[in-house]
Each structure stands twice: as structure tokens, then as C-alpha cells.
């Protein structure tokens, strides 16, 4: 399940400016508390192509390295 969430976030980030927490909540039926937001942020950072992750008030903003 964790990998599905991360894959979803990365795909969404490629097509949109940010990934709203509400979209993640609705798609996976989970509660996005601060602890989970931090865990997901750390997991996104672990991806090889990610150069920056910013957690804003209601979304993640993810920057990837150019191919």
C-alpha cells in the first residue's frame, strides 16, 4: 500500500504543480496527520529522481531532477 501511495503522489506531481493532501486522503481513505505527512515526505525524498520536497499547508510540492 505504501508504494502505491508514493507512486500515485509522484505521478500526480508530474502532471500538477502540487499534490493536495485532500487528493491523497480521498484516493486512499487515510487520515493525513502531521506524523504521516512527515513519513510520506521522507519516503518521497528517498526517491532517486527527487531534488526537493516542500510540505505546504495543504499540499506537497515536489521537484524532480531533469532527465
pTM for this entry? 0.87
What's the CA gap between 20 and 66, in Å, rounded?
23
Query: Is the pLDDT score of 66 beyond 90?
Result: no
pLDDT digits 0-9 by tens, 37-50: 999 999 999 998 89
What's the CA gap between 23 and 9, in Å, rounded?
9
Amino acid at each position: 500500500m505504501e508504494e502505491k501511495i508514493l507512486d500515485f503522489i509522484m505521478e500526480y506531481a508530474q502532471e500538477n504543480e502540487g499534490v493536495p493532501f485532500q487528493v491523497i486522503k480521498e484516493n486512499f481513505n487515510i487520515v493525513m496527520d502531521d506524523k504521516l505527512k512527515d513519513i510520506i515526505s521522507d519516503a518521497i525524498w528517498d526517491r532517486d529522481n527527487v531534488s526537493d520536497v516542500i510540505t505546504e499547508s495543504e499540499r506537497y510540492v515536489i521537484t524532480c531532477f531533469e532527465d
